[in-house]
């Protein structure tokens, strides 16, 4: 299955780029992911980047991937990187409140890694769930840690509620989610074409209650929302360039994913989302913006309509009756209110982001002998 990688895996590639010649010590990062398509390249970025020490990967079943598949796919993907052995965990299967979910076909694509194979490993998740793993990893560090969130904010909100004393250990929460001036991305023809919500972004929409808890906290948040990601559209020309520069198993994986999603790229609707947030972790200049207070709309209604997935248990993980919310407004991020100000990313450097993904995925540590 992985023969096509063998030619590359034996190559002694060790590439050092001038951009990485920094005297700064590695940034310690915990990556919280929902294992959608864009999360895969983001994970390869944080696992491969020479200026990042990846401490662990956490997920849950709230976003695109389901827990069972995530717990196989995360170590499989990590095996393609230079951080193959970091701990990983899953969390709750459902949002903190509400009944909203990603479309089933997207979840299937997430669970199957778009049909692109990764190595089979014998690695198992930690016995801790994601919330407790975040706490443990932070507790083990003397230095501050960056949290990178590329899915719903469920795990982060639950960690804030359970371990508020951990907050000083976090230097930044860089999150992909939300949007302010940009249109929302809930309405997708062929999947959710008649959805009434024109403003929300998916990561916030699937668990807006969790997102509101995070924005109400005093965490130093950097919001990589649709206003920023819309500036970095993946084009067929970029996919062609990426293919021409593949040198490692990680890059070869991502090239196959781009091949499988050529229809998506040709639709002019495929952007750097999670991967842009991953790049902001080590290249803060990719997020130019301003400080603002943010809150999240979540208006209760008496009953659900067709957008509510009533297969979700009607009692939350905390044992409270689950509420229905207005799908037309759920998850809309608004500027204003009294929450502590967060950094809203407004401008980025698309070419720098495009170049960085190619460079980082093509770094292969010569000491990392992969068995694929
Ligand atoms: Ca994601």
Span from the CA of 127 to the centroid of ligand 1 (angstroms): 23
Instruction: Single out the residue of 249, 238, 241, 250 nearest to residue 44, CA to CA.
Output: 250
100: helix, coil or strand? coil
Q: Which residues, 6 or more positions from 311, have their beta carbon under 8 angstroms from its beta carbon?
A: none
> For residue 59, how far is its CA from the centre of ligand 1 (angstroms)?
10
Q: Report the separation in Å between the CA atom of 343 and the middle of ligand 1, taken as the mean of its atom positions.
A: 20
Per-residue confidence band for 10, with pLDDT thresholds at 50, 70 and 90: very low
Pairing mode, strands 333-335 and 294-296? antiparallel
Domains, the chain, in order of start with CATH, read 27-361 (3.90.245.10)
List CB-based neighbours of ion ligand 1 within 5 Å. Answer: 34, 36, 39, 150-151, 274
- For ligand 1, the distance from its centroid to the CA atom of residue 35, given in whole angstroms, is 6
Percentage, residues of the chain above pLDDT 90: 89
DSSP letter for each residue of 165-231: GGGGGEEEEEEE---SSS--S---TTTSTT-S-SS--HHHHTTHHHHHHHHHS---EEEE-HHHHTT
367 alpha carbon – ligand 1 mean position (Å): 30
Distance CA(209)–CA(159), nearest Å, equals: 14
* Cβ pair 47, 338 in contact under 8 A: no
Fill in the DSSP letter of residue 30.
E
Tokens standing for residue 190:
């062929």
At residue 365, the pLDDT reads 78
**pTM of the complete model:** 0.92
Taking alpha carbons only, the member of 317, 106, 291 closest to residue 210 is 317
**232 has pLDDT over 90:** yes
Q: How far is the CA of 7 from the centre of ligand 1 (A)?
A: 31
Compute the distance from residue 314 Cα to the ligand 1 centre, in Å: 25
pLDDT given for residue 154 in this prediction: 98
* Residue 25: predicted pLDDT: 79
Give 58-85 pLDDT, tens digit per residue.
Answer: 999 999 999 999 999 999 999 999 999 9
């Amino acid at each position: 299955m992985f023969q096509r990688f063998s030619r590359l895996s034996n190559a002694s590639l060790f590439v050092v780029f001038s951009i990485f010649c920094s005297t700064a010590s590695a940034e310690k990062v915990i990556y919280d992911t929902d294992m959608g398509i864009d999360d895969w390249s983001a994970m390869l970025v944080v696992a491969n980047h020479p200026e990042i020490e990846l401490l662990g990967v956490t997920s849950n079943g709230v976003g695109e991937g389901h827990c069972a598949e995530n717990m196989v796919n995360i170590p499989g993907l990590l095996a393609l990187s230079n951080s193959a052995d970091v701990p990983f965990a899953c969390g709750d299967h459902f949002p903190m409140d509400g009944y909203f979910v990603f479309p089933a076909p997207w979840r299937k694509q997430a669970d199957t890694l778009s049909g692109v194979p990764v190595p089979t490993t014998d690695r198992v998740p930690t016995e801790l769930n994601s919330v407790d793993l975040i706490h443990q990893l932070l507790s083990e560090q003397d230095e501050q840690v960056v949290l990178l969130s590329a899915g719903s904010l469920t795990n982060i909100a639950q960690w804030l509620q359970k371990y508020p004393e951990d907050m000083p250990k976090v230097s930044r929460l860089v999150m992909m989610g939300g949007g302010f001036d940009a249109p929302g991305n809930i309405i997708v023809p062929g999947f959710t074409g008649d959805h009434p919500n024109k403003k929300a972004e998916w990561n916030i929409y699937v668990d807006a209650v969790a997102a509101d808890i995070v924005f109400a906290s005093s965490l130093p948040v950097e919001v990589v929302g649709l206003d920023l990601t819309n500036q970095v559209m993946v084009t067929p020309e970029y996919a062609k360039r990426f293919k021409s520069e593949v040198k490692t198993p990680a890059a070869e994986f991502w090239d196959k994913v781009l091949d499988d999603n050529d229809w998506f790229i040709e639709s002019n609707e495929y952007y750097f989302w999670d991967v842009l947030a991953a790049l902001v972790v080590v290249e803060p200049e990719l997020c130019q913006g301003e400080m603002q207070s943010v809150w999240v709309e979540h208006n209760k209604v008496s009953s659900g309509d067709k957008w509510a997935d009533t297969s979700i248990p009607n009692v939350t993980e905390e044992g409270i009756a689950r509420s229905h919310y207005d799908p037309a407004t759920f998850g809309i991020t608004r500027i204003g209110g009294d929450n502590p100000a967060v950094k809203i990313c407004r401008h980025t450097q698309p070419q720098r982001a495009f170049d960085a993904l190619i460079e980082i995925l093509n770094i292969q540590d010569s000491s990392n002998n992969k068995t694929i």
